[in-house]
Structures are given as structure tokens and as C-alpha cells.
Amino acid sequence: MRIALGIEYAGTDFCGWQNQPNTRTVQGELEKAASVVANHSIDVFAAGRTDTGVHALNQVVHFDTDAIRSERGWLLGINANLPKDINVAWMKPVDDEFNARFTAIKRRYRYLILNRLSRSAVHHNRMWWHHHPLDIERMQAAADQLVGKHDFSAFRASECQARSPIKTLDKITVRRQQDCIAVDVEAKSFLHHMVRNLVGVMAAIGDGSKPVDWAGDVLRSVDRSQGGVTAPPQGLYLVDVEYPEQYSMPTVSGFPVLW
């Protein structure tokens, strides 16, 4: 049978999602825990690979198994064998046509910025501390230039393995709640570091270092060297992955990260 899981994790102490030799990864910890419950080796496949330090609220994964366990047994059993910075939020049997990566029709990320003069003792691994004041209207005007289907080479990491830099951004919204700014980005798929590079450009425009039209100039340049800084990983969250209605995937609460 094929099983889908909804996973949340704090990425601070992981070298990203994907298995790597002699490093601590989310995939590695999850596969070890699921293998204990299944009593055989489990390979886990994810909707998307997150980088070192990046968090997830509802990463979706799937694996195949011959083991027969109740939904409660899978959920509690895997969680009992996971470290405290990873948790299975839900479990759901799916058909063999389901693939966590290729069946997905939309992915949603949120980037959080702490925008105040002083740093935070609590949020230093959960947000990007940006002490220069940011104008979210300027940031939104910059974001609006990036929505749609474009060549996003200027926002692509040099090590990106995607076959094409052409992507379609469905939505970018910028909101502020007191000293916290959230940038929400939706698309079917993303390039490596794409969201963090988008936020880096928007932040430079928000603090007045660059004009609003610079976002469009960077996009049209298709040159990563024109794009400025890459926002740090600790502010980035994989919020949700959307699938066709036939799968009726559970949703999770993002509180307090979402509002």
C-alpha cells in the first residue's frame, strides 16, 4: 500500500531535506522512524526538497509498504521514533497513482521578516531580522512585476538542477502585522533558492536601497549576478502543498506562523 504523510519540522538543525552522507537530514530521520514501525526499510519521497535551515508546516511525503498498521499506529509509532524537531501531523492511505512530488498542483511558501531595530532572542532561527524599516507597499509593487510566467534565471541558484528556468508565479502578497512582515508565494513549482532570492530583491526595494522598477529589471536581465542578496533560510517555511480534490488531503493549522 502507499501512504501519504503530512510532516512539520524546524529546519534549524538539519542539513536540509534530502539524504546526505554523514549529515543530519529530515529525510534520513523520517526514513529511520518509518522503517522501525514498518519493520522493513522505507524510502520516503517528498513534495519538495527544502534547504538547510528551512522549515515546513505541511511537507507532504509518500512511501510504499507491505506492513499492515492502523492509521493511529502509523502516526503515533513514527512520531515516537522521531526527534522533537520533526512531527507527523497526519497520515492517509492513497492509491498507487499518487506521488507527493508529481501529483502536486501548487506549493505555498511563506517568508517571515522581523522588521525592527533590535534583534529577537526568540525568533532568531524563525525569521530574518531586517533592522532597516521596510515599506510593504513598495515591496508589493515590486512583487507585482514578478507574477506570471517568466524566465526566472535571475532568481535561480547556480546549483539549481531544474531543466528550465521558466516558471509561473501565481501569487505574491506582502503583509505586515506590527513588526512582522510575511511574504506569501504560490506556484506549482520553484527553482532552487527562488523564493529567498525574490525576497532579497523585495527587501532592497522595501528599504529604499533600490527603486521599485528594479525588480522588473532584474527579472528581464536573466542574470543572477544582477539580483542582489539571497535572503537567509531561517525565515522560509513550506506552508502547504495542494493536490487534486480527489485526494482530499488534510489541512493543518499554521498558528502562530500564519495569520
Q: Annotated catalytic sites, by residue? A: 51
Cα distance between residue 183 and residue 227, in whole Å: 18
CA 200/CA 196 separation, integer angstroms: 6
| 237 appears as a binding residue in the annotation | no
C-alpha cell, 172: 505574491
CB-CB contact of 183 with 199 (8 Å): yes
Determine the Cα–Cα distance for residues 158 and 153; give it in Å rounded to an integer.
9
The answer to whether the beta carbons of residues 111 and 139 sit under 8 Å apart is: no
Pairing verdict, β 45-46 and 55-64: antiparallel
CA distance 39 to 44: 15
- Of 66, 1, 56, nearest to 30 by C-alpha is 56
* Alpha helix stretches (DSSP H) within the chain: 26-38, 71-80, 136-144, 194-206, 214-221
Helix axes of 214-221 and 136-144: crossing angle, nearest 10 degrees: 30
Give the other-Cβ count within 10 Å of 219's Cβ: 21
Diameter of the chain by CA atoms? Answer: 59
Length of the chain counted residue by residue: 259
Beta bridge partners of 1: none
**Residue ranges at the known binding site for substrate:** 109
